[in-house]
Amino acid sequence: MSDPSCLFCRIVKGEIPAKLVHETPDVIAFRDINPQAPVHVLVIPREHIESTGALTEAHEALSGKLLVAAAEVARKEGLDSFRAVSNTGADAGQSVFHLHVHVLGGRSFTWPPG
């Protein structure tokens, strides 16, 4: 449920400070420490799940809550356009192995991403 060696579990517990922008009983959202856009917020489950790739049917409700929270963050931040991205695995750029959705906005983006 919680991994004491996981950075984002420690943020959930309040052991490491973060700039919270949204929270629900299951999900929190906080500003990325190294923003890649004017708005860059990470939406994470309170529960420790390694990545999007570790999701199963047991996580269907929680997965929906993550996306709804991403939309709430975008509304709160006044974003009409935004990227919601979940890097999954080291080759895809995942560096913190606690599932998270990046909400990026406030600038234009190209497609496909690099």
Q: How are beta strands 27-31 and 82-85 bridged, if at all? A: unpaired
- Comparing CB distances to ligand AMP, the nearer of 5 and 61 is 5
* Residue range at the interface with ligand AMP (CB under 6 A); choices 61-69, 74-82, 94-102, 104-112: 94-102
- Report the distance separating Cα 111 and Cα 28, nearest Å: 28
Burial of 69 (0-12, 13-18, 19+ CB in 10 A): buried
68: nearest Cα among 8, 114, 15, 23: 23
Catalytic residue flag (residue 100):
yes
Which of the stretches 20-28, 68-76, 92-100, 106-114 binds ligand AMP when contact is defined by CB under 6 A? 92-100
User: Which residues within the stretch 7-66 sit at the binding site for ligand AMP (CB under 6 A)?
Assistant: 7, 16, 18, 32-34, 42
Contact call for residue 95 and ligand AMP (CB under 6 A): yes
Quote the strand ranges of 33-100, DSSP E.
Answer: 39-45, 82-85
CB of 99 to ligand AMP, least distance (A): 9
Q: Mind telling me the catalytic residues?
A: 100
Interface ranges with ligand AMP (CB under 6 A): 7, 16, 18, 32-34, 42, 87, 93-96
